[in-house]
Amino acid sequence: MRIVTTPRIAFLRELGSEIAGRYGRGRMIVAVDGPVQSGKTALADDLGAVLEERGLSVFRARMEGFHRSRAAQDAFGDDTAERYYRYGFDESALRRVLVEPFRMGGSTAFVTRVLDPARDAWVEPKWISGPADAILVLDGRFVLRERLDELWDYRIAVDGEPVDAADRLAYADRDPRSVADAVVDLADPERPVRRR
């Protein structure tokens, strides 16, 4: 289905063309990072829709669905910004139930979330399968950190300075804009601007 053309959609179609140009066949993962409340989730949603418009099979996931439970985070000490940055997300589960099975190209199913952070409760896993050729668009804080770098095929950073203490820790370790394939300014969400 054709999406109504707006400046935002036109911008994302251009970005989608660049991603599709690198895609070829098989499975590809696009990661979208940015400061808290920067618009990265809406950007990833719209990018996914634009890629689907091209006839590609697209799946969406959010790092929010891979939070550690509060009890699991407590094992790493007091509730601080540093604990949240370093241990707030279950990267092992992300790899085990999403990234690794997704990379198998349709021979096994994968899960796009394991926890509902608002309720601090595990969710019943919904195992999804898809065709051998597909794109996963994943957004979240800290996804462009160095220890996850090999997981992504294309990296997008939403431009903006760190907002809270956890963001400041993350950006001090590695500013996502420095490693992104595309840096997107969403100061006016309806008229994104490419910074790189």
Share of the chain above pLDDT 70, in %: 99
Q: What is the pLDDT of residue 106?
A: 75
* For residues 148-165, average pLDDT: 96
Q: What is the pLDDT of residue 24?
A: 75
d(CA 115, CA 92): 13
* For residues 180-184, average pLDDT: 98
* For residues 165-176, average pLDDT: 97
**Where are the chain's structural domains?**
7-194
Q: What is the pLDDT of residue 196?
A: 87
Q: What is the pLDDT of residue 193?
A: 97
pLDDT band at 105 (very low <50, low <70, confident <90, very high): confident
Contact 41, 62 (CB under 8 A): yes
- Per 3-state DSSP, the chain is made up of helix, strand and coil in percentages (nearest 5) of 40, 20, 40
* For residues 10-34, average pLDDT: 94
* For residues 127-145, average pLDDT: 96
**CA of 4: how far to CAs of 7, 46, 53, 181, 182, in Å?**
10, 12, 11, 26, 24
Two structure tokens written together for 125: 């896993």
pLDDT at 72 over 80: yes
* For residues 132-161, average pLDDT: 97
Q: What is the pLDDT of residue 42?
A: 98
Contact 1, 125 (CB under 8 A): no
Q: What is the pLDDT of residue 18?
A: 96
* For residues 170-185, average pLDDT: 97
CATH superfamily of 7-194: P-loop containing nucleotide triphosphate hydrolases (3.40.50.300)
Q: What is the pLDDT of residue 186?
A: 98
- Residue type at 105 in one-letter notation: G
Mean pLDDT for all residues in the chain: 95
Nearest 10 degrees: CA dihedral of 176, 177, 182, 188? 110
* For residues 5-27, average pLDDT: 94
More confident: 64 or 22: 64
pLDDT band at 25 (very low <50, low <70, confident <90, very high): confident
3-state secondary structure of 115: strand
* For residues 85-110, average pLDDT: 94
